[in-house]
Structure 1
Amino acid sequence: MKQAKAILLFIPALFTVLSAITLQPIQAQPPTPSFQCASVLLSGNIQLTWAPGTGGTNCGATFTAYNIYVSNSASGPFTLLAAVADPLQTTFTDATSNPSGILYYYLETQCGGAVSAPSVILDTQQPVAPVITSASVLNNTTVQLNWLPGVSPETAGYIIYRADENGNFIPIDTIFNATATFYQDAGAQPDAQPESYKIAAFDACSNVTPGPDNGIAHQTVHLSLSANDCSNQATITWTPYLGWGTNLAGYSIVQVDNNNVAIANIADVDTTVTSYTYTFPDGESAACFRIVAHHSNNIDIANSNFVCANIVLPQSPDYICIVNATVGNNDTIFLQWNIDTSLPLYNLSVRRSQTDSLALSQYSLFPFGTPAPSTMTFADANADPDKYSYTYQIQHVNNCNQPTYSGIVQTIRLRGRDQYNLTNGLDWTPFYLTGATVQNYNIYRSPIGQSNFTLLATVTPDVLEYEDPITEVEGAAGFCYRLEAIYQTSCPDGFADVLSSWSNIVCINQTPRIFVPNAFAPNGINNEFKPVLLYPNEDEYSMKIMNRWGEILFTTTNPNEGWDGNFKGNPAPQGVYAYVIQMKTPNGITLERKGTLMLLR
């Protein structure tokens, strides 16, 4: 009980002590000043600029000072440089610290016995430009510049520079956002040229990174293209990406669609390669490409502009089908063919040979109108079908100088001769047309000087000669012949028909012949001396009868008139007489017969 009494006696005394103590309110932490920059003036003094803090509690009337601390090391130690007692003052010029080196400052707000958290530490250097990570083409009119976050706490924004045509970097925009890490340049021309960029940082006091010349420029990849219609190839060439130095790992050639959306990765090449040849697959005539540059960190990439190639595929007709070659009037050879006109035609020419298809060469260009007709005809007026069988072929040369050929056709050359046995012999070269079938040959004949050819004979296609006996024909000294080949042909366009090809006309004159009797008896059966003439030329005929002394007893120019054995109205005596008979052939050769005859009485 004694102990309890002692405790009770102590409690009243404790209350007496506590009542004598005055309780003070706890001071809240003041706002931290917003330290903006530490600028070196031309005088060498250092001007600090800040703004009142926005965090914490405004200390109002209890404001004591802005305490400014300085050090020559970012890690301290810091010493109190000054205490600015005016709460409205937001600048301070340090004229006492050593400006020859880098100085570091921070500020704090003091309100009575309370002190704010320290501000950021700023140095007397200008803000450091950020590191550009890539300059990449978004589309053919915009470039995106990417960079790492700025390392200077005083950075308030960035200035973007782009090189002009002379390589001078010109500011193109200002970004008032210290946390920005990319910029899109919509005023660039990445489809026309590589674009080169630099970036500078600035602080709230307009201190700027020392100009664009102190940074590493990054230059976009510019892609160009040339297409070769005839080789089905497109060659793409690009400028190297600049800015990564040895960290440039290589390039990817990417095929894209018309909206620059990737379709396929075509190839990967190293940094020394700046061109690539793309071969279009069969049937493909359009393709678009872009180049992707790769950083060795496997993160950063830079796209080029994209380009598209549209080639005109080599255009050739699907078919050129000769349907006929025939000898017409005046020995002109007419050639006809059908041709595919579903695609544009470029250059047509006629190839010809006087021997065979192995000797074909370009003979004549063939102009055609627009639109080109599907059936074409060529007249060869310089041919000599009496001497040659001609081989023809049609050639088309397309936009890539690639030829397309038709089949061949060979005309008929007809030859004829007098076989001196009262027959005319004919032979001919076969008619040939690629894909056609000869059915037969028709032989036509007409007396020389007339044009009424009539069918003489029909022979099978394997027969290439014919003998015409003319002993049964009277009243004609010669005949003209013409051959017709009957053949069946067709073309890929659906054309099919049975057609004719005619040969040249050959005329054969029978050689005049003179058969002379060796005796006659005026009073007998054979009472007139007259030669037997075969195919005479009456305008060029003469006959003379002479005695042994050379005296002319009889003369005539009429092949139908003979000597009756009289001279000056009196019978010539029996005996031997001489004769001279002359006659010209149709080709101008003079035939002459000389001899003796016996006159019998």
Structure 2
Amino acid sequence: FVRASGGPFEMPTGRATFDSIAADTGYSTYHFQWLTNCTHVRQRPYLITIKATDLNKQLQLNDFDVFNIRVIGPPPQALSAHASANAIRLTWDKYPCSNVKFFEIYRSNGPSGFTPDSCETGIPSYSSFRKIGHTASGNDTLFIDDGSASELIKGIQYCYRIVAVFNDSYSVASDEVCASLVPGLPALINASVTNIDPAAGSVFLAWLKPNPDSLTGTGPYKLMIYRSPDLWGSSFQPIDSIFTATLDDTTYIDQPLNTIHFPYSYKVELYNNVPGNNYLIGTPEVASTLYPQLKGTDNKIEINAIRNVPWINTAYVFYRFNQNSGTYDSIGISSTNRFVDTGLTNGKEYCYRIKSIGYRDIENRQASTVNFSHKNCATPVDSIAPCPPDLNVTNVCDSAYNFLQWTNPNHFCADDVVSYKIYYSPVFGNNPEFLTAVSSAQDTTYRHYPDGNLAGCYQITAVDSFGNESRRSVLVCVDACSFYELPNVFTPNGDGINDIYIARNKNHYVQKVDMKIYNRWGTLVFQTSDPDIKWDGRSKQRGKIVPSGVYYYVCDVYEPRLTGLEVRNLVGFIHVYSNEKNTKPQDK
């Protein structure tokens, strides 16, 4: 007889099957099948236990084998890369698993040479890929690499892979796709805010004069100018046109318009404007104005110069408005598009502008470019959550509680933590829910007395004086203590002491067993599923007290563990002392 047990047979959906195919004396063949689905994906493997029992009436022997099954998420499919003059647009098919949290995006300068193994998940650190961002949800099928993570440079081939992120694991990586930035025509070099006003503002546009020798048309020409009220040009509308025979017109001032509330993006289309032969020459490119994206935090404001431009910016100068002089004062310069203005007063409004300095190489021509941003204002507030504590959890089996101990963030990464929140789940794989709050930052221990067994997973957060809650600590799990034991001595002699064989099952920890007791001739004398056993010493065949002697037991114990109900096999001997003589039984 062969039986299989383990997590795959206990799943709420898509349970595994284990069916007999063929059996004869000395052998048996079984077919294991598990049609996995997305809900089965997890980092920890599933344990399968195979138990084979000899059906010999004289002596029943058992053999065990175990193996692991790890369920991993499939790779995202149909990843493709579409390059423009200043960004690379990635798209892929909708992912089949609804329990995906988001997608992580990885980029390599040139082909990576990385080929994932069939069971390898995520992107390994030894590859040339580096993470550049992630999507907002698992339903996304689009990501735009605009160089925010690191500057995109023309002439370099960029290669990408993406992975789906589950609760505690990654999918297999997608196929690798590559693309390079492509210059547009005409090549834009300026989109600079020259006047800030809610109604009478202006933006200066400029582009390099196209080389007539490289154009397919001979002219005259028409330049169509388009504007979109966003960074990416999602809703372009024509705003003006320029007719030229020489292509010497390379600038345009867009006015009047609101230059306070949001950035603009522009494109310029070049047409061969000959009656009967009017057509678009080349592919236009997009350039946006520069916008100071602000985030007020505790006594500081984080400034991010957002832009979508086809040229390379080498420096950014950051300005803050001086209320006394009525002018913008330079507060710093950076080679990146980020700057933090510190030492500010919480609750006070500050306004900023940015100047970008860069260049562009087109057809062996290098053009310098300087552009000014819009204006934006923000107020610093304490919205920064403290770092999470480091958590440690241990079982205290004798007293039936879990002991939690953690570090105080005020000692190494914060200065105003006032309390903690503890989260708990009795099983692995579920998101821990709020358990309790600890009201003092100095109190860094907690005793948890769970109902039932001690298996469970914990996380903790720190809360500061402004109510900002840290992210949760690393998930820490402990398994259940094994409280189930079977005595090895039993005296059913009618003296009222130890006349009933009872298991030690503290707190009714185990709810079910499969207990079988045999005499030395291999005859089954007692069997029960009661976890307390409660054997009075009588043989199931004759109903009489069994003779004194050594008896052998095999007991499958169904224990509640961290991953659910699991079977633990116990085998051993019971020394029985009764008033019966030990003779060869008739019911052998």
TM-score by length of 2: 0.30
| Rg larger in structure | 1
Question: So what's the TM-score if we normalise by structure 1?
Answer: 0.29
Of structures 1 and 2, the one with the larger relative CO (CA 8 A, separation 6+) is 2
